[in-house]
A and B are shown apart, each in its own frame.
Chain A
Amino acid sequence: MNAFRRFPWLFILPSLVGFLAFNAGPILLSLWISFTHWDVFQPLTLENLIQSWAGLDNYRRMLADPVLKKAFFNTLYYVVVAVPLEITLALAIALGLNRNFPGVRLIRTLYLLPTVTSVVAVGLLWRWVLNPYVGPVNLFLRWLGAKIEALLSFLHLPVPATVHWLATQGPGWLQDPAWAMPGIIVASVWAGLGFRMLIFLAGLQNIDPTYYEAAELDGANSWQKFLHVTLPLLSPTVFLNTLLALIAGFQVFGLIYVMTGGGPLDATNVLLFYLYQKAFGEFPPDMGYASAIAWLLFLILFGLTVIQWQLRKRWVLEEA
């Protein structure tokens, strides 16, 4: 098609401008700033960029920063608990919903509603839902605790201290350093479940039903079918979904900002929140150090992706 040789650049121009001005340019600038003590109040000129050069200062500082270390382990805590929880629950729900049944679509919609709610709304909502005194979560836990307590005393059994605590008080959630992260995790699983479930459903619907028919002919029961047909054939989806959840998990920000502001006592301060604090939350802003943290986070995500792809080769059944 000869005529199509003439104007390709006309079509690519908007993207190219955007790419240079808002992607490639900023990425290089970010890398440079991470090696400087950049002062945001000076104009952005080549001279200033060169003069503020600080070598490896920012990266060296990271090694000795106790708050960064704490933020790193908090992020890890969040990811290690939230991701498996979300993936397992989403898979279970998807398996349950992957059948024809009147009302199945309605139930699916119920799980999807939080997905369309902005992260800010989710965070604000859960701050109230997790209120230790009048929130529905603790109301339920206290009711449950009281029932167990009543049952135990009816049976003349000793009431453990935790049950009594549950019945009268319950977790302090976001106000308690030990319970703040679990509180964030509950909110984030609630919000993210529907999306993960949807990806699993798409994967499940791609499985050829003849595999199940063959397994049934061989006398496989439901559990065997799940273990030997569904799981292997779904493994690419499981891997993709887990990787996406991990990447999103390491970048958790909105919920933290809204629900706890990183507190109490830095108990929920995560890497991206710490970056935000350094660059925009305190005075004077420390753009150089914050940029270095951004690249640390990038390296973590990059490493994670590489490891996942290596594992993928060993564990995932590739589609023929």
Chain B
Amino acid sequence: MKKTTIWDVLVIALLLAGGLTMLVPFLWMVSTSLKEPGTLFDLPIRLWPEKLHWENYKQVLTIVPFGRWYLNSLIIALGLTFLNLTSGAMGGYAFARFQWKGKDVMFLLSLITLMIPAHVLIIPLFVIMSSVGWIDTYYALILPGLFDAFAIFLMRQHFIQMPKELEEAALIDGAGPWQIYWKIALPLAAPALATLGTFTFLGGWNSFLWPLVATNSIEMRPLTVGLAVFNTNFSTEWTLLMAGLSLATIPPILVFLLAQRWFIRGLTLGSLKG
């Protein structure tokens, strides 16, 4: 272990200062959300309100269907995660353990879809979803997650690295492929599933462009779209907007602090996507 030099201390102090600067926007958000409506532009500008106006939170909950938006975000994120884990793990298993006709072609096609940016899909998906009448339903918001090349590759990689012996033993004992997959392979893949799950959940929770296009009623909007539209209608009510924003931002941050380990693994793995 090297000994700590003045230089190290200086670097850490600088990084800490930078890190605290990163916090300023969040603190400003919370401080604004607790100020008295209509006093934001009074001089001198206060960094922190004299009296905390918690009623802003109550008010924002009554003028917009915040609970419903939360629920929608949760349904969408959980639905996408469920689909992604189910079909991704099954697909990854098929690629890792089976030999089948068309495997190489399918692999190549999946690789190509990673190259096609999501924005190319927005218009045709909208056209398709409107023609089947699924716009403004959960189907349109969740079902496109059925295929995700990244999920398949991640799970395939994990299954390939897993020793085959257990599965082969089960095969000799007369278990079918589905039983082997469900009872042996999948439980052993729990770490990969957790990583993929965290990653998909957060991606679904934060998705914006597709839900913006695929919903049009207030009730069907997820939190992201709800807030963005709320902003265009209430852009002068900063105290309320910041109260809403705090409600939207703080839970994901708490989830992140709890699940940081999986999340960081997911992020670094996700960086291989592209």
Contact = CB atoms under 8 A, between A and B. Distances in A.
Q: Specify whether A and B are partners.
A: yes
B64 to A, nearest CB: 13
B123 A287 contact: yes
B8 A101 contact: yes
Interface stretch (A58-66, A131-139, A160-168): A131-139
Contacts, number: 281
Contact of B94 (A12, A97, A275): A12
Given A128-B28, A240-B274, A139 B93 contact: no
B14 A19 contact: no
Given A4-B98, A110-B23, A258 B228 contact: yes
B267 A198 contact: yes
A298 B113 CA distance: 12
Interface stretch (A23-31, A72-80, A148-156): A23-31
A110 B19 CA distance: 5
A107 B12 contact: yes
A292 B164 CA distance: 48
A18 B123 contact: no
B263 interface: yes
A113 B147 contact: no
A1 B177 CA distance: 10
B108 interface: no
B16 interface: yes
A10 B180 CA distance: 14
A290 B12 contact: no
A40 B86 CA distance: 33
Nearest to A99: B8
B160 to A, nearest CB: 14
Given A25-B128, A116-B253, A14 B91 contact: yes
A11 B15 contact: no
B245 interface: yes
Chain A contact patch, size range: 35 or more
Contacts of B123: 30, 33, 279, 287, 290-291, 294
Contacts of A275: 119
A93 B18 contact: yes
B109 A24 contact: yes
Interface in A90-129: 93, 96-97, 99-101, 103-104, 107, 109-121, 123-129
Contacts of B130: 40, 44
Contacts of A280: 126, 212-213
Chain B contact patch, size range: 35 or more
A19 B227 CA distance: 31
B58 interface: no
Contacts of A116: 202, 252-253, 255-256, 263
Contact of A113 (B16, B22, B28): B22
Nearest to B7: A222
A198 B47 CA distance: 32
Given A15-B91, A254-B209, A8 B98 contact: yes
A11 B268 CA distance: 27
A290 B109 CA distance: 25
A119 B124 contact: no
Nearest to B1: A100
A315 interface: no
Contacts of B40: 134
A210 B201 CA distance: 39
Given A10-B178, A117-B253, A124-B245, 6 more contacts: A13-B90, A30-B120, A40-B130, A120-B227, A121-B248, A275-B119
28 contacts: A1-B97, A3-B176, A4-B177, A5-B100, A9-B100, A11-B91, A14-B86, A15-B152, A24-B109, A30-B123, A93-B18, A110-B20, A114-B25, A116-B255, A117-B252, A117-B253, A119-B224, A121-B227, A121-B245, A123-B228, A124-B227, A128-B29, A128-B238, A247-B117, A276-B213, A280-B213, A287-B123, A297-B117
Counting from the closest, the 9 A-B pairs by CB-CB distance are A18-B146, A18-B147, A110-B19, A14-B87, A26-B124, A44-B131, A11-B94, A15-B91, A8-B98
Interface of B: 1, 4, 8, 11-12, 14-16, 18-20, 22-26, 28-29, 32, 40-41, 45, 47, 83, 86-88, 90-91, 93-95, 97-100, 103, 106, 109-110, 113, 115-128, 130-131, 143-148, 152, 164, 168, 171, 176-178, 181, 202, 205-206, 208-209, 212-213, 223-225, 227-228, 231, 238, 241-242, 245, 248-249, 252-253, 255-257, 260, 263-264, 267-268, 271, 274
